[in-house]
């Protein structure tokens, strides 16, 4: 693999990324971040979600230059599963 | 030369005029190094101060989180970036409080282990160091673990900045007994009482805000902000009533001539403009939040406080304050 090539992300890898970043923001362990539990039940308020979005944009820019999550789409993202599915579609992960 | 303090020239009820005037005074009277961040077309005369130009302003009623994302070239965001990038020692703003916190949080990041930053507002005490009220408005909803961290950070701040060796910490409630208060207060009381590294003295009540028998009062941001604004309003009312009474007739005016010489310095000591703003505790950099109604004097004092915090190495002391296992 050349230095310019980045391996595509699997859905499992996206899940791990979202979990890790949310865990860091909420000061939890990744194992405590269940995929189906609503963000609000995990203790993530609107500012925590903005932190998550900005962290994901920075991390995922490695895989897709200028990766951006539209603010209009944020309302529809209510759980880790939503976020992972959203990113997967954006990155066209199978 | 020390790094400049980045001042949001666009934030506040009296921006940019009073903000820039305050910066000029801080340079002239205190010898501080200040850099303005603002929209050139809206700023007017920068009074000879250096300006970092930007193109947007976050309004007082903008949503904090989304405005920071949407207005990336705003004065608030750019000021936070100057601190993040090591081009400024601190940022100061009298603008949208929530957006100031969001800018600092998203650009500077949090100190290790910190769940959420909080606002530490000094409440003056006669002949004593100020009492620190945390959280004065950053987090409307809190968990007990957050309040424990607020108490830890405020204790470190009071120790480092005011030289209080073992700050007394009180928990704001509706009675001294541990059984009084909301579930949040009762659980926080249990956690604080179990901590050996804090000098927790138990619950305090609203009447203990002034003059406070403790050095730190911890509460959630909703309650803290209500308490703070109630205090401000009450003090204004008392002084206005006193001045009204003095103006009643010739006799009271004559008495006032004598009395005011002693009352006005007290009023000045208690006024928000002389307190110098509140420190945002828990972000990886210095962010001082000044009152929305700040005039030039208030801004000058906020810049003074930011400089003192920088020189005192408060952020480095806060870096090792939070030990997550203690709050478990």
Residues of chain B with C-beta less than 8 angstroms from the C-beta of A54? 69, 106
B260 vs B57, residue with greater confidence? B57
Nearest CA in chain B to A23: B115
Is residue B274 over pLDDT 90? no
Residues of chain B with C-beta less than 8 angstroms from the C-beta of A46? 65
pLDDT tens digits, B180-201: 999 999 999 999 999 999 999 9
- Report the pLDDT value the prediction gives residue B127, as an integer from 0 to 100: 83
- Report the pLDDT value the prediction gives residue B323, as an integer from 0 to 100: 64
Longest C-alpha distance within chain B, in Å? Answer: 66
To the nearest whole Å, the CA of A60 is away from the closest chain B CA by 17
Residues of chain B with C-beta less than 8 angstroms from the C-beta of A24? none
CB atoms within 10 A of CB B110: 20
Is residue A63 over pLDDT 90? no
- Report the pLDDT value the prediction gives residue B1, as an integer from 0 to 100: 66
Closest C-alpha among B152, B113, B116 to residue B132: B152
Residues B139-163, mean pLDDT to the nearest whole number = 95
Query: Is B105–A27 a contact, with Cβ atoms under 8 angstroms apart?
Result: no
Please report, rounded to a whole number, the percentage of residues in chain B having pLDDT higher than 70: 98
Residues of chain A with C-beta less than 8 angstroms from the C-beta of B117? none
Query: Is A51–B106 a contact, with Cβ atoms under 8 angstroms apart?
Result: yes
To the nearest whole Å, the CA of B65 is away from the closest chain A CA by 6
Is residue B327 over pLDDT 50? no
Is residue A3 over pLDDT 80? no
Q: At what angle do helices A80-90 and A11-26 cross, to 10 degrees?
A: 130
The residue with tokens 């304050």 is: B321
Question: Over chain B, what is the mean pLDDT?
Answer: 93
CATH architecture, domain defined by A11-90 = Orthogonal Bundle (1.10)
pLDDT tens digits, B49-65: 999 999 999 999 998 88
B64 vs B32, residue with greater confidence? B32
Mutate to test the interface with B, among A22, A23, A27, A41 (most CBs of B within 10 A): A27
Query: Is B106–A50 a contact, with Cβ atoms under 8 angstroms apart?
Result: yes
Reported as a pLDDT band with limits 50, 70 and 90, residue B22 is: very high
pTM for the whole thing?
0.88
Residues B119-138, mean pLDDT to the nearest whole number = 93
Please report, rounded to a whole number, the percentage of residues in chain B having pLDDT higher than 90: 83
Residues B137-164, mean pLDDT to the nearest whole number = 95
DSSP string, B212-271: -SSSEEE--HHHHHHHHHHHHHHHHHHHHHHHHHHTSSHHHHHHHHHHHHHHHHHHHHHS
Residues A79-92, mean pLDDT to the nearest whole number = 90
CB atoms within 10 A of CB A11: 14
pLDDT tens digits, B308-326: 999 999 999 999 888 655 5
Least confident among A36-40, B99-103, B263-267: B263-267
pLDDT tens digits, B76-112: 999 999 999 999 999 999 999 999 999 999 999 999 9
C-alpha span between A84 and B79 (Å, rounded): 33
Query: Is B69–A43 a contact, with Cβ atoms under 8 angstroms apart?
Result: no
Mutate to test the interface with B, among A32, A50, A56, A71 (most CBs of B within 10 A): A50
Chain B contact present for A54, CB below 8 A: yes
Query: Is B105–A53 a contact, with Cβ atoms under 8 angstroms apart?
Result: no
CB atoms within 10 A of CB B239: 16
Nearest CA in chain A to B104: A51
Query: Is A26–B68 a contact, with Cβ atoms under 8 angstroms apart?
Result: no
- Report the pLDDT value the prediction gives residue B328, as an integer from 0 to 100: 40
- CB contact at 8 A, B124 and B208: no
C-alpha span between B129 and B73 (Å, rounded): 39
Is residue A5 over pLDDT 90? no
């Amino acid at each position: 693999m050349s230095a310019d090539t980045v391996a595509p992300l699997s859905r499992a890898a996206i899940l791990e990324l979202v979990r890790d970043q949310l865990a860091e923001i909420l000061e939890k362990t990744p194992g405590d971040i269940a995929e189906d539990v609503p963000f609000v039940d995990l203790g993530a308020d609107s500012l925590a979600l903005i932190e998550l979005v900005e962290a994901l944009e920075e991390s995922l820019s490695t895989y897709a230059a200028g990766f951006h999550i539209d603010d209009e789409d944020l309302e529809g993202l209510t759980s880790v599963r939503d976020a992972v599915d959203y990113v997967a579609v954006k990155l066209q992960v199978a | 030369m020390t790094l400049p303090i980045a001042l949001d020239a666009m934030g506040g009820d009296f921006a940019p005029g009073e903000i820039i005037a305050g910066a000029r005074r801080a340079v002239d009277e205190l010898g501080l190094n200040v850099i303005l961040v603002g929209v050139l077309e809206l700023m007017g005369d920068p009074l000879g101060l250096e300006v970092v130009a930007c193109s947007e302003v976050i309004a007082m009623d903008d949503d904090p989180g989304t405005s920071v994302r949407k207005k990336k070239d705003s004065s608030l965001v750019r000021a936070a970036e100057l601190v993040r990038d090591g081009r400024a020692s601190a940022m100061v703003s009298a603008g949208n409080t929530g957006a100031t916190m969001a800018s600092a949080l998203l650009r500077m990041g949090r100190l290790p282990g910190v769940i959420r930053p909080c606002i530490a507002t000094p409440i003056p005490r006669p002949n004593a160091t100020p009492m620190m009220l945390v959280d004065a408005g950053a987090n409307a909803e809190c968990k007990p673990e957050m309040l424990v961290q607020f108490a830890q950070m405020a204790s470190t701040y009071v120790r480092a900045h005011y030289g209080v060796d073992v700050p007394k910490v009180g928990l704001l409630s509706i009675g001294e007994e541990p059984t009084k208060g909301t579930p949040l207060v009762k659980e926080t009381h249990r956690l604080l009482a179990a901590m050996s590294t804090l000098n927790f003295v138990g619950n305090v009540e609203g009447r203990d805000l002034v003059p406070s028998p403790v050095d730190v009062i911890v509460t959630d941001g909703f309650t803290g902000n209500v308490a703070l604004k109630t205090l401000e309003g009450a003090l204004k009312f008392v002084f206005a009533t006193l001045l009204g009474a003095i103006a009643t007739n010739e006799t009271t005016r004559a008495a006032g001539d004598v009395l005011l010489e002693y009352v006005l310095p007290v009023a000045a000591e208690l006024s928000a403009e002389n307190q110098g703003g509140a420190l945002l505790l828990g972000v990886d950099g210095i962010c001082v939040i000044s009152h929305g109604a700040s005039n030039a004097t208030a801004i000058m004092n906020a810049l003074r406080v930011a400089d003192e915090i920088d020189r005192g190495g408060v952020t480095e002391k806060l870096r090792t304050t939070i030990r997550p296992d203690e709050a478990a």
